[in-house]
Amino acid sequence: MKYAYYPGCSLGTSAEEYDVSTREVLRRLDVELADIPDWTCCGASAAEPVSRLLTLALPARNLALAEREAAGLDMLVPCSACYLNHLRVGRECAADRALPGRINEALGAEGLHYAGKVRVRHLLDVLAADIGPEALAAHASRRLEGLTVAPYYGCQVLRPYALFDDAEHPRSMTPLISALGAQVLDWSMGGRCCGASLMATRRDVALASVAAILEAAAGADVIVTVCPMCQMNLEAYQSQAHHADTISVLYLPQLLGLAFGLSDDQVLLGKNLAVTDALKGKLHACPTAGPERQTTPTGG
Amino acid sequence: MNKTKPPISLTPAAHQRTLDGGLVAIQDLVRSCMQCGTCTASCPNAFAMDLAPRQVWRLLLYGLTQEVLQSRTFWLCSACYTCTLRCPRGLPLTAAMAALKRLAAAEGDAVNRKKALFYQEFMRNVEQNGRIQEMGFMCSYFLAMHNPMLPLEYTPLGLKLLGKGKLHLGGGAQRGRLGPLFAKVRSMEERP
């Protein structure tokens, strides 16, 4: 399996642990990543309030680069906002016939052309659909028994385009977490908004969302996320959300990596802002089940 | 502060065109709203809004733009897309909220223009650096807001990130890369 890889800006800076753990885990799953050369910002959630055309032209630039430099590969994106921005270009072009021409006129400034040939995939989609729980279980050398995990999906990975899971009741992480031997928290807040950039512009409002999510996750040992914005909002503002007991928040591939037997350092656990000693104790106490490596990983 | 080109939505020609075409374009997005209120009931931020989303759509269709632009409702949209997902008419309501942010930046009062600064400073940083440099963006945002208390709100987070080695000034290999694309988009949006 091989994908064109778009890490996005956060994964190079404040979400480095998401980038490193994604690469480490995928490498062990025999997934090859082709970095898209010279990629640029997709506009995050800031482009749309500024310019409609820029909202589409910025991700289209990266898609055009992927078409030219990594032809035929799906584009794998770990950040949910980056994922939606790139995905929507094709969706909106399909609905508005004038749009591809406008986008390509803009990209012409750099001699680039967007043809709409790249399929955009979220990391979670690739893990759930292409790799699958059996392959994860086969690579796990540590059974996460006794660990309860709250799967947090956030918004833009499934809304407005629910391409690989149910947008109202997401559950694509359940078999992945179960495959590691962990319990999955039965909760209804997995798709509840974390407040996103309101944390910068209207912190009081975002904190109310964060508080509601953390409270609902109280029965879990750890929340896992698939988006750097969700991760930051849930891990960095726990005391301001008046959440008394710290709850650990990890990126999904960090948890996968730990189950694969990677060290805390290999998944950059030291970079997380909310990891309790209780979680570390439970993780290190997990039984090391000899890896039942299958000779042919499924889903390839 | 580094004075460069004005943010995209505030160029005079684009400003004028937004005034002319903006409202009708947004009305078209919500034309078939039947006032069921599913959007309001689904919105995680509705509790903090002065106008419910449902009311915003109605006021827009009545042409009561100023009433809408005086509200803070659209600035409270966190783009979670729950309303868009659930709207029984299939209306792109999150896109309509974003369009209102653009309209308010161009046509709104000083309060609206100040709220737009967060997004404009972000995009200016992207234009300059190719990839967003979070540190530089926050610094220019603080300066643009002229609020000496604002950086203090971010001190706890800043210290946490500093302690984790997460405050970078950025590599800069893509610096200037997006200049031609931004310039082209700017000229296309100024076109009548």
Furthest-apart CA atoms within chain A: distance in Å: 59
Res B154 pLDDT > 80:
yes
Answer yes or no: are the C-beta atoms of A51 and B8 closer than 8 Å: yes
Mean pLDDT of chain A: 95
Q: What is the domain range of residue A51?
A: 2-122
Give residue B191's pLDDT: 83
Q: What is the mean pLDDT of residues A140-159?
A: 97
Give residue B136's pLDDT: 87
Residue A66 lies in a domain: yes
Res A284 pLDDT > 80:
yes
Residue A290 lies in a domain: no
Answer yes or no: are the C-beta atoms of B52 and B46 closer than 8 Å: yes
Chain A, residues 7-66, CB within 8 A of chain B, namely 9, 12-14, 16, 38, 40-41, 43-54, 57-58, 61
Residues of chain B contacting residue A9, judged by C-beta atoms under 8 Å apart:
131-132, 134
Give residue A194's pLDDT: 97
Note whether A49 and A110 are same-domain residues. yes
What sign does the CA torsion over A234, A239, A241, A243 have? positive
| B185–A203 CB contact, under 8 Å | no
Note whether A34 and A59 are same-domain residues. yes
Nearest-Cα residue of chain B relative to residue A61: B181
CA angle A26, A32, A33 (to 5 degrees): 90
What is the distance between the alpha carbons of residues A213 and A189, in angstroms, rounded to a whole number?
6
Res A295 pLDDT > 80:
no
Give residue A289's pLDDT: 72
Residue A240 — φ and ψ, nearest 5°? -70, -25
Note whether A113 and A164 are same-domain residues. no
Structure tokens at B37: 């209120």
Give residue A244's pLDDT: 81
Residue A128 lies in a domain: no
Chain A, residues 109-128, CB within 8 A of chain B, namely 109-110
Res A296 pLDDT > 70:
no
Note whether A93 and A162 are same-domain residues. no
Residues of chain B contacting residue A61, judged by C-beta atoms under 8 Å apart:
178, 181
Name the pairing type of β-strands A74-77 and A32-35.
unpaired
Please enumerate in sequence order all residues whose Cβ is within 8 A of that of A252, keeping only pairs 6 or more positions apart, or say none.
A123, A124, A127, A151, A173, A176, A224, A225, A226
Residues of chain A contacting residue B185, judged by C-beta atoms under 8 Å apart:
51, 53-54, 57, 106
Note whether A96 and A151 are same-domain residues. no
Model confidence over A41-86: pLDDT tens digits?
A: 999 999 999 999 999 999 999 999 999 999 999 999 999 999 999 9
Note whether A139 and A243 are same-domain residues. yes
Residue A162 lies in a domain: yes
| Extended strands (E) in A144-274 | 148-151, 183-184, 222-225, 248-251
At CB < 8 A and 24+ separation, what contacts does B104-110 make? Answer: B104/B69, B104/B74, B104/B75, B105/A49, B105/A50, B105/B9, B105/B10, B106/B9, B106/B10, B106/B14, B106/B15, B106/B18, B106/B19, B106/B22, B107/B15, B107/B18, B107/B19, B107/B22, B107/B65, B107/B69, B108/B69, B109/B69, B109/B70
Percent of chain A with pLDDT over 90: 93
Count the domains in chain A.
Answer: 2
CATH of the domain at A179: 3.40.50.11810
B170 pLDDT band, cuts 50/70/90, is low
A198 and B CB contact within 8 Å: yes
Res B130 pLDDT > 90:
yes
Residues of chain B contacting residue A201, judged by C-beta atoms under 8 Å apart:
75, 115, 118
Give residue A249's pLDDT: 98
Nearest-Cα residue of chain B relative to residue A196: B78
Residue A292 lies in a domain: no
B3 pLDDT band, cuts 50/70/90, is very low
B23 pLDDT band, cuts 50/70/90, is confident
Q: Give the H or E element holding residue A175.
A: helix A173-178
Q: Write down the ipTM of this complex.
A: 0.94
Res B1 pLDDT > 70:
no
Give residue A298's pLDDT: 47
Res B19 pLDDT > 50:
no
Res B12 pLDDT > 60:
no
Chain A, residues 64-93, CB within 8 A of chain B, namely none
Mean pLDDT of chain B: 88
Give residue A4's pLDDT: 98
Note whether A161 and A93 are same-domain residues. no
| A13–B174 CB contact, under 8 Å | no
Note whether A37 and A175 are same-domain residues. no
Q: Domain limits of chain B?
A: 8-190
Model confidence over A118-138: pLDDT tens digits?
A: 999 999 999 999 999 999 999
